[in-house]
Amino acid sequence: MTFVNKVRYKTAAEREDVKLAVLEAMDECIEENILVDFFEQHREEVVEVSIYDYDEEKVRKTLVDEAVEEIVVKVVDEAKKETTQLNMINLIIKKVKKEKTLETIASELEENVEDIKVLYDIVIEAAPEYDVDKIMKKLNNEND
């Protein structure tokens, strides 16, 4: 692991080129009497394999980073959608409690009647408790 750690340190901390980092790590290992015969006999192969492995590791890390970013974007979008729905539910509940009609509520919220009708109907069904969690579940079942 000494050789690998040296290469990783040089490429990460010292920001060296992979090939240069591998060559320097081999030289240091030889000076420290670590795998001397192996590094002297297989110097070029070690460089080629190390560069290939490093590139493969970098590709894997990039793929993981991209997947994580994609998941984060999806979760944030879902959270925004849910927050918007909860806000709309609470606004409609307040207006229904004031006995406002669907048309009046749509006008006051600057929404189309068709866009909020399903939600309005679910809120009306939930009266008088107006359990927001139950309303959300029913809304999500309607949208599925």
Residue 25 is assigned to a structural domain of this protein: no
Q: What is the pLDDT of residue 15?
A: 72
Domain assignment present for 59: yes
Angle, vertex CA 40, rays to CA 35 and CA 43, nearest 5: 100
In a domain, 7, yes or no: no
Give exposure, 53-71, as e/b (b: 16+ Cβ within 10 Å).
ebeeeeeeeeeeeeeeeee
Residue 31 inside a domain? The answer is no
pLDDT band at 96 (very low <50, low <70, confident <90, very high): very high
Say if residue 113's pLDDT is above 80: yes
Residue 74 lies in a domain: yes
Helices (DSSP H) in the chain: which residue ranges? Answer: 2-12, 18-31, 36-41, 43-97, 102-109, 113-125, 132-143
pTM: 0.56
**Where in the sequence is the domain holding 80, given as residue range(s)?**
42-143
Domain annotation covers residue 117: yes
Asked, for residue 8, whether it belongs to a domain, the answer is no
Total number of domains constituting the chain? 1
Mean pLDDT of 98-104: 97
User: What pLDDT shows up at residue 55?
Assistant: 65
What digits encode the pLDDT tens for the residues 32-85? 998 889 889 988 888 888 777 766 677 678 878 889 999 999 999 999 999 999
In a domain, 11, yes or no: no
